Structure 1
Amino acid sequence: MTVMETEGRGVFPLTRTQRGLWAAQMREPAVPFVIGQYLEIFDELDIDALRRAARVAAIEFGSGVLRIVEVDGEPFQCVDASPERCVELVDLTGHADPVGAAHDWMQSDCATPVAITENQLVTSALLRVGQEHYFCYVRAHHLALDGYGVMSMVRRTAQLYNADIVGTPAPPSRAQDPGSLAALEERYRNSPRFGDDRRYWRDRLSSLSVEDDNRVMATVPRKCTAELSAAHRRDLEVLAGETGGMAAVVIAALASFFGDRSGRPDVVLGLTTSGRTSRIMRDSAGSFDNVVPLLLSDVADSPVETLIDTARTTLLGALRHQRYRFEDMQRDRGVPSSGRPFGPVVNLRLNERAVELAGHRAGVGMLTSGPVQDLQVDVYHDGLGSLHIDLLGNSRTYGARELSDLHRSLMRFVEQFAAQARRPVRKLALVPPLS
């Protein structure tokens, strides 16, 4: 990998993933390609200590202080820790509804386009909504961090903060800097594993038809959110324990729902993956996430337990080959890299743990994982025991009422899915369409 000097900073090329994101952002300058997440904290905080911890974590990972620069009209990246980056403190306690005002503030910030060669790619803020009640918010352009990377940096910030509060050294960081991660990606693309992954996906996608899709991404997707009741969550957990695990159960449920909606026996879902297949990558930040296809056949005629087993096997294969880029799969199929993803996209965060801050547990909230071309389902634990199911839709395609009705149907379907695990999907007591 070539490193050049410009204005006293070492700059190096974008990875293949980043170049795709750069091109997408150039095509759609009004669309914010950002990740937005937050912690909800019920405790008083040492704000200066939190700011110190956030700055150290950003520098350790490098991705938190990443800059995009242009050299002779071409995009490059560099790590620039020179500006003092401070966690902004926003006091919303004077509002009639401080919590609502905090959510509005965060959603508005996530909806604001980022001038990627002029602005910081990663920003954070602490929103005070009451005595011992805060939202700790992070927004990152996808060029710098994906969702996994954001949470890695948040957890490291908490680790540094806790060590500062009790006056003990924090464990050393194991994160690799962005330059090393870029070199790691380059080595993968020149390795035998890259060829193996390419052949795997060519075989899997050989029978999949190519569909034209010229729809334009909306600036901000519509979103419906709900929390699964404790009783229905336990039903899914029991079924997961008896079959293929929670991820396979959720994939099977969503395949059943969208298969019934489309009337087709075979279902294709797009699965968001972390793109991280090694300890080095999992210990680091950066932007590696990917969307890989999950192809499930004869969904309607399969007993639920059989479908879950199929989902588990399909999921294991996809994760084993998850580093092969969506854009490369599309190119191999003769589809523009900006084309439609593989069916509704599913984003699973089922192993999220609470973040510990000075002995208090903070829950995790998802705001956005970027633009949505058609439909996306986010299923995630908040770390405090709740399971959330959010449905996001392209607002140019789905009206508010249509998306809300679809989300309610999805929730009702998931609630009854576990209770009828031994019946064929076709014979489930499916919820009727909402008028």
Structure 2
Amino acid sequence: MTGYQIASLPLTAAQSGIWLAQRLQPANPLFNIAEYIDIHGEIDPALFENALRRTVAEADTLRIRLLEEDGRAAQRVEEHIDWTLPFIDVSHEDDPRAVAESHMRAEMRRPVDPTTGPLFAFALFKAADDRYLWYQRYHHIVMDGLGLSLIGRRVAELYTALAAGLPCPEAPFGSLAELLDDEAAYRDSDRFTRDRAYWTARFAERPAATSLADRTPALPERLERRTAFLDEPTLAGLRATAREAEVSWPAVLVAAFGVYLHRMTGNRQVVLGLPAMARSTGRARTIPGMMSNVLPFRLDLHPGTTVAQAVRLASKELHSALKHQRYRAEDLRRDLELSGDEHRLVGPHINIVMVDYDLTFGGHRGTVHNLGGGPVDDLSLVVDGRAATERGRPGSGESASGGLRIDLDGNPELYGPERLADHQRRLLDLLGHFAHAAPDTPIGRIDLLAPEERERVLGEWNATARKVPDSSLPELFQAQAARTPQAPAVVFEGRTLTYAELNGRANRLAHLLIGHGAGPESLVALSVPRSDEMIVALLAILKAGAAYLPVDPGYPAERIAYMLGDAEPALVLTATGDTAGGDGPTSLRLDAPETAERLAGQP
């Protein structure tokens, strides 16, 4: 028995997050998730639609309607829902798959209102007599990555039975109400309390989210994607690195991405976003729906960390984080009192998809192609470890060498095509280092720069030679004062000095300093609060031909004494209340009455 009436159900915590985000940006299509399955063989479109309609009838989440009741979001499972399955023949095109993908991406970019149904879309493309592409798109509020695999398997299972004339296997899905019961039981359990204690302790220091962007990310309406395939030798090397460190090989991928962020930003504490299914074992894992969570994955690194140490750190963190994966990031943000975009919990995401659908449709193999995994405001690295796609087809741009598919999805407002391509190349190079470098190699010694980038940094950016006036700074200032004597030069707390006034006061003080022994090859310490007087003194020291040593009068007395003892200035300029000069070198209090009298007599 469930604790809910079928007429109206609350949202899962994951659904609530999507609901609020979509309501803030109702026209944003980035809340769609989509993929297509390449079926390598001839199928019967009518039988396929039959299998698909049976699956929709079995899966509660595909028949929900979102509504608001008393100001709160709720959902209702409909008995029946109207939808169509477009059948599109692209087999006559020069590149059928490219044309089909263009249709898919156009449909995926269509905003979907979660209060209207259906919250999914399907299409079947005929690419050849023996090649069909099944497109499926869902609003993220009804489906996550695990749900996609459950739907795909069920359609394949039903189609296979129908094509063979066999009875359809019993529906494997539980109800949406069961999924809600499971979540409610978790949130009332000791496990929830233990998970909360783990995460609040792990992030008690509130480390800043790491980003490769130079601006605060905001959710875009599309993502820029770069796709590459990791060759088999590199993949074999990564597996060998994992064996050497006695960890699972996905830990190597996570470690490498963390090291990349550490090296590119200099941050020693790197916090990634790690998508997780966030379901208990058993029944909840058989129910399509939206339950996934994004875990804050933290790695503490420094340049001396070795490759093997980084991999073991990542493995240990993966093990701990996944043990507590049901505690939601939204709850942790509240626990840590984080609010707004300026208090981000995670930076770029890394999503390692390791579930092989192992799909067959009436004996014909199906391979899965991800098109979009939902909202990302910064950068997302998607490593697809499922069945390899076909390589080397005309116009595909795919490698003929096989290997692991790696997608880099970036917010186009932060990462343009060229910048995204640079990150992709460096990441692939770094994975090569992790595959072939000695385990005791310090990560700070791994070179991320291509030869042309190194030349740009060391040569081009430092090629700053240019002709400059053969004049000193005081001479340049004197010329400016002559050109604009009445223009404001310094403004401080309502007081304004013109260029003429500043020049005159600095000249008088410079004469006084010279009388105290200041000049070329000597040093004058300047220990006065930030003020217009400080600017006068700084310019006067330069006019006298000396160099200045800034000393913050707010420093501890011991530090000031050390600085003055080490530098041995000829003179220390101070103000009333400042004891920086001590009993050491000669000091001159700029605001003392006798100093004012002496300045008045200077030229």
TM-score of the pair, normalised by structure 1: 0.93
The one of 299, 304, 310 equivalent to 1:307 is 310
Give the total of aligned pairs: 431
CA contact (8 A) 1:93 1:130 kept: yes
1:107 paired residue number? 105
CA contact (8 A) 1:365 1:382 kept: no
Q: How does 1:173-252 map to 2 (within 5 A)?
A: 173-209=171-207, 215-242=217-244, 243-252=246-255
Q: How does 1:255-294 map to 2 (within 5 A)?
A: 255-294=258-297
1:78-98: CA deviations, max 9, x gaps? 222413434321222343332
Inter-partner Cα distance in structure 2 for 1:48 and 1:275? 36
Q: Which moves more between the two structures, 380-389 or 133-142?
A: 380-389
Say if 1:431 and 1:210 are closer, same or farther in 2 by CA, change over 3 A. closer
Matched, 1:427 2:431: no
Inter-partner Cα distance in structure 2 for 1:17 and 1:177? 17
1:327 paired residue number? 330
- 1:12 maps to a residue whose letter is L
Matched, 1:16 2:13: yes
Q: Secondary structure at the match of 1:155?
A: helix
CA contact (8 A) 2:12 2:291 kept: no
CA contact (8 A) 2:62 2:118 kept: no
Matched, 1:378 2:378: no
Q: Secondary structure at the match of 2:279?
A: coil
Inter-partner Cα distance in structure 2 for 1:168 and 1:239? 47
Inter-partner Cα distance in structure 2 for 1:318 and 1:123? 34
Please state how far the C-alpha of 1:412 moved relative to its aligned partner. 2.0
Inter-partner Cα distance in structure 1 for 2:36 and 2:345? 27
Please state how far the C-alpha of 1:372 moved relative to its aligned partner. 1.3
Q: Secondary structure at the match of 1:317?
A: helix
Inter-partner Cα distance in structure 2 for 1:210 and 1:254? 17
Inter-partner Cα distance in structure 1 for 2:208 and 2:72? 32
- 1:343 maps to a residue whose letter is G
Inter-partner Cα distance in structure 2 for 1:431 and 1:353? 38
Q: Secondary structure at the match of 2:414?
A: coil
2:371 paired residue number? 367
Inter-partner Cα distance in structure 2 for 1:421 and 1:112? 48
Q: How does 1:96-175 map to 2 (within 5 A)?
A: 96-175=94-173
Q: Which moves more between the two structures, 385-394 or 68-77?
A: 68-77
Please state how far the C-alpha of 1:178 moved relative to its aligned partner. 0.9
Please state how far the C-alpha of 1:131 moved relative to its aligned partner. 2.2
Please state how far the C-alpha of 1:66 moved relative to its aligned partner. 2.1
Q: Secondary structure at the match of 2:381?
A: strand
1:336-378: CA deviations, max 9, x gaps? 3776341211111024243112222211111111121111110
Matched, 1:411 2:428: yes
Q: Which moves more between the two structures, 304-313 or 63-72?
A: 63-72
1:355 paired residue number? 359
Higher relative contact order (CA 8 A, sep 6+): 1
Please state how far the C-alpha of 1:157 moved relative to its aligned partner. 1.0
Please state how far the C-alpha of 1:414 moved relative to its aligned partner. 1.2
Please state how far the C-alpha of 1:216 moved relative to its aligned partner. 2.3
Please state how far the C-alpha of 1:74 moved relative to its aligned partner. 3.3
Inter-partner Cα distance in structure 1 for 2:362 and 2:302? 48
The one of 296, 299, 312 equivalent to 1:296 is 299
1:154-204: CA deviations, max 9, x gaps? 111111111111122343333211121112111211111111111100000
- 2:344 maps to a residue whose letter is R
| Greater radius of gyration (CA) | 2
Please state how far the C-alpha of 1:219 moved relative to its aligned partner. 0.4
TM-score of the pair, normalised by structure 2: 0.68
Q: Which moves more between the two structures, 203-212 or 36-45?
A: 203-212
CA contact (8 A) 1:240 1:249 kept: yes
Please state how far the C-alpha of 1:237 moved relative to its aligned partner. 2.4
Aligned alpha-carbon RMSD (Å): 2.1
- 1:425 maps to a residue whose letter is I
1:25-50: CA deviations, max 9, x gaps? 00111222111111111211111221
Inter-partner Cα distance in structure 2 for 1:84 and 1:114? 16
Please state how far the C-alpha of 1:220 moved relative to its aligned partner. 0.5
Q: Point out where structure 1 has 5 or more consecutive residues left out of the alignment.
A: none
Say if 1:95 and 1:72 are closer, same or farther in 2 by CA, change over 3 A. farther
Q: How does 1:35-74 map to 2 (within 5 A)?
A: 35-74=33-72
